[in-house]
Structure 1
Amino acid sequence: MSGRERILRLCEAGGDARELRLRLLDELRATIGFDAYAFLLTDPETSVGCAPIADVPVLRELPRAIHLKYVTRANRWTELRDVALLSDLPDRSVSPLWNDLLRHHGIRDIASTVFRDRHGTWGFLDLWRRDRDFTPAEAAHLAGLTAPITTALRRSQAATFVVRPPHEPRSEPLVLVLSPDMGVVGQTPGTHAYLRVLVPPEHGRPAVPAGAYNVAAQLLAVEAGVDDHPPRARVHLADGLWLTLRAARMEGAVAVTIEESSPAERLSVFCPAHALSARETELVGLLSKGADSHTVAATMHVSEHTVQDHLKSVFAKTGTHNRRDLLARALGA
């Protein structure tokens, strides 16, 4: 069985997003070869990274590396169609990430890949190599895998929307305060525990608030005029609980807030994650506001029979069997 066939089987099997990415990296290492990597999920609407897994030689400088990644225009994942190579640029020094940091760690080339479909952006991957450039054939091989990997990542996010056990949401958001160079200067009680779950530290290493660094870096990118996407990312924590991370400017600092995603915030991930059409998304939105079939039909200017057809399609795509189950998963109620 070829490496491509093994990757396609992994994508078809799906599963937990973290384990899926680790297995995919094992196969890519065997077929392409690389020395370091950063593989992030992204908020499908904002394209801001969250839930990263990484093996990089710059852990002590990780906040700076993330900052430079976000303010680097060259081969930025938000502008890619599939794969881009640092070595294809006329001048590699136009990449601040490489010029200001990675070249000093012996990195020679970077293969950057985005996992995007018509429903949103689901992740991006950087493969770093020291000894030689990536070849056009290797880039083409990676490009040929982006579509199935994108679908697998999207489905892995869809699978996290399970019916949550009864719970009391936190009344106040958690807050992490970062200095101008993205050092942690303050946090509310409980913040550290949440961030450890979002990015589990490797054995013997301290927890790194990488999810918070990403939304903070996006704020800096917006301020630098690199990108206009809002500095916000929604990410699954555990057991159907989704969190929203936001960055905002404070005097001389950046504050990152972490709070349970609202029903509306969940819904705008739930629908694209399950590949719902625009009409199906409109239908679920109306149901989430308490509309019955008659109201839905009148609002959408269709018959109630058509509403039932749309509902059957939504149930099939989401693996639900009735409206109560559908809304419980979508809204977290």
Structure 2
Amino acid sequence: MKVTTRRPLDEILVRELAPDADRNDVADAVYAVIRQRVPFDFACLATTDPATGLVTWASKTRDLGVGDEEFSAQEYGPPDVNRFVEIAQRAVPVGVLSVDTDGHPERCRRHREFNHLRFGFTDEIRVVFRSRGVAWGAIGLYRGPGDPPFTAKDGAEVVALEVVVAEALQRSMFRPGARQVLRSGGEGPAVLIIDAQDRVTQLTPAAADAIEQLGGYDHGSPPANILAVVAHTRTSGAPTDSRTQVGHGWWLSLRAAPLSGPPGGNDVVVTIEPTPHTDLSRLTLAAHGLTTREEDVTLLVLQGASTRAIATSLHLSPHTVQDHLKKIFGKLGVNSRRDLAALLTGG
């Protein structure tokens, strides 16, 4: 008797994804593949800054008619069940709300005060997409009225996509030929002030241009990447930094800081500027699948170190350094140290 086995979802997704897929293509493929095994009413896939875990871009299966200020306040506010930052630390980065609350999703503040109250959602699966221990994105899946709760098996189906999606998001950020800096928008610095209701109250001309590049206003709300750094700063009381890719491989760095003022003011200032190549170098290397040792070798090459100097610094033989360089050139698609430096520094 022939036994038919179902193909794992990650194998199906690999076949669906083109090597040069952009982040919108990745999101659409992920939604379609998940639906084959785990039906859902609504889904949102986001990219995240590997250094901070903050949302930098988001895709949704449909428009919910609101901006992301409430989501940001819930996600980056006080502790709650299955926050993405906590899921990212798990050995298996998945959370099924109905399972993790023993059938009482109302124990989750985010569900009780936002997802169920505003949209009628009844359950949630959350997965963080990691590669080599670094988070590159996340997804939330939701069921509506009359739908059965998600199961632990449903969560296992979705989290099986962890590495495939993480690597696809990496490739979308660092596609060959993409320029990895951002042009300056407008004249002067890009600075804006966000009030306690997440409204932009003041901004420079350059900030207005930067907001458009970051995704533009969503139902009157600033882009999700700005709201993320603002909400995190409000909770922590300290400055928050994030990096996000905008169109055509350009990158922006966002920094939010609390403003002093009248009690209860809660205003936050956000500065936006082009991301320096030096800040993106190690991120670029990780995105191309370099090992930690290969990253170390590459960064020394960028400092102008010779093969012998690299060998001495890393306690390797010159022959081993050369082997590492061959692998590095192959992964980054370059043929020389000069090409490597040009790729990573814009020279």
Q: Same fold (TM over 0.5)?
A: yes
Output the amino acid matched with 1:98. H
- Counterpart-to-counterpart distance in 2, 1:96 and 1:268: 37
Hey, what does 2:48 align to over in structure 1? 42
For 1:282, the aligned partner's letter is D
Does the 8 Å contact 1:160/1:236 carry over to 2?
no
Contact 2:67–2:221 (Cα < 8 Å) also in 1: no
Q: Using the TM superposition, name which of 297-306 and 164-173 deviates more.
A: 164-173
Distance 1:290 1:65 in 2: 46
Tell me the equivalent position of 2:283. Answer: 269
Kindly tell me the number of residue pairs found equivalent between the two proteins: 326
Structure 1 residue aligned with 2:109, among 96, 99, 103? 96
Structure 2, unaligned runs of 5 or more: 1-5, 261-265
| 3-state SS of paired residue (2:296) | helix
SS in 2 for 1:258: strand
Match of 1:74 among 78, 81, 96: 81
Amino acid at match of 1:78: V
Q: Distance in 2 between matches of 1:52 and 1:236?
A: 12
Q: Over residues 104-133 of structure 1, what are the superposed CA-to-partner deviations in whole Å (9 max), with x where a residue is unaligned?
A: 121111111100122511001111211222
Aligned residue for 1:140?
Answer: 156
Q: Contact between 1:75 and 1:112, CA under 8 Å: does it hold in 2?
A: yes
**3-state SS in 2 of match to 1:149:** helix
Residue in 2 that maps onto 1:113: 127
1:232 alignment counterpart: 241
> What is the deviation of 1:94?
3.5
What residue number does 1:62 align with? 68
Instruction: Provide the residue aligned with 2:211 in structure 1.
Output: 195
> What's the CA shift string for 1:25-61, capped at 9, x where partnerless?
1332343222222211011121111011124665435
Aligned pair 1:16/2:30, yes or no?
Answer: no
Compared with structure 1, are the counterparts of its residues 332 and 171 closer, same or farther at alpha carbon in structure 2 (3 Å cutoff)? farther
Instruction: Give SS of 2:245's match.
Output: strand
After TM superposition, the structure 1 = structure 2 runs for residues 1-333 of structure 1, keeping only pairs within 5 Å, are 4=9, 5-11=11-17, 13=19, 15-55=21-61, 58-60=64-66, 62-71=68-77, 72-80=79-87, 81-88=92-99, 89-90=101-102, 91-104=104-117, 105-131=119-145, 132=147, 133-159=149-175, 162=178, 173-199=189-215, 208-223=222-237, 231-251=240-260, 252-333=266-347
- Closer, same or farther: CA 270–175 of 1 in aligned 2, 3 Å: same
Partners of 1:113 and 1:299 in 2: how far apart? 39
Describe the shift of the 1:183–1:41 C-alpha distance in structure 2 as closer, same or farther (beyond 3 A): same
Contact 1:41–1:124 (CA under 8 A) maintained in structure 2: yes
Bigger shift: 167-176 or 234-243? 167-176
- State the SS of the aligned residue for 2:205: coil
Shift of 1:207: 7.4
Cα separation, partners in 2 of 1:242 and 1:165, compared to 1, 3 Å: closer
Matched residue type, 1:197:
Q
User: CA contact under 8 A between 1:35 and 1:129: conserved in structure 2?
Assistant: yes
Aligned equivalents of 2:338 and 2:220: distance in 1? 42
CA contact (8 A) 1:215 1:245 kept: yes
Aligned-partner Cα distance in 2 for 1:195–1:243: 11
Contact 2:67/2:220 (8 A) holds in 1 = no
**Letter in structure 2 aligned against 1:199:** G
Bigger radius of gyration, 1 or 2?
2
What is the identity, as a one-letter code, of the residue corresponding to 2:250? L
Between 255-264 and 1-10, the greater mean CA deviation after superposition: 1-10
User: What are the superposed Cα offsets for residues 133-179 of structure 1, whole Å, 9 maximum, x if unpaired?
Assistant: 21333222112222222222223223267356997798954223211
Q: CA deviation at 1:291?
A: 2.5
More displaced, 308-317 or 50-59?
Answer: 50-59
| Larger RCO (CA under 8 A, 6+ residues apart) | 1
Q: Kindly state the Cα deviation for residue 208 of structure 1 after the two structures are TM-superposed.
A: 4.1
Following the alignment from structure 1 to structure 2, what is the Cα–Cα distance between the partners of residues 166 and 124?
A: 25
In the alignment, which residue of structure 1 is the partner of 2:3?
none
Structure 2 letter corresponding to 1:69: E
**Deviations, residues 266-285 of structure 1 (Å, cap 9, x unaligned):** 11311211221222111221
